Amino acid sequence: MTADPNSAFKDTPASWGLWKDGIDSAIRAEKAGRPGPGLQTWETYWRGIQTTLSTRTRSGEYQYEGPYLYEHADRYIKYIVDQRRAVGLPDIPFYPKDP
């Protein structure tokens, strides 16, 4: 991965660790059957995360091309997909099958 000078948020070890902690907590809550933040559905929550990470979507699909709001946004999206799959949660429809 190369750095994107146009990204608003840089991918540092500290930001990655903090972000993963929050995502892992959300995945545990979803797996436990708790409602999404603000009583929204989990699908709505994850779509919001994807929108926050990326400035580009087309036809409801995540695009692996910039510019990104977050540097290396694809890494962050892939983490969500992989961790949800690891605990047996269903795929989110807008994610590609093999990010």
Whether residue 74 has pLDDT greater than 70: yes
Contact call for residues 49 and 66 (beta carbons, < 8 A): no
Domain ranges of the chain: 13-86
Per this entry, what is the length of the chain?
A: 99
* Predicted local distance difference test score (pLDDT) of residue 9: 61
Tens digits of residue pLDDT in 7-63:
456 677 888 888 899 999 999 999 999 988 887 889 888 888 877 776 554 444 544
Q: Higher model confidence: residue 46 or residue 68?
A: 46
* Predicted local distance difference test score (pLDDT) of residue 44: 87
Q: What is the CA angle 49-22-14, rounded to 5?
A: 100
Q: What is the largest CA-CA distance in the chain?
A: 40
Distance between CA atoms of residues 63 and 54, nearest Å: 8
Distance between CA atoms of residues 61 and 21, nearest Å: 25
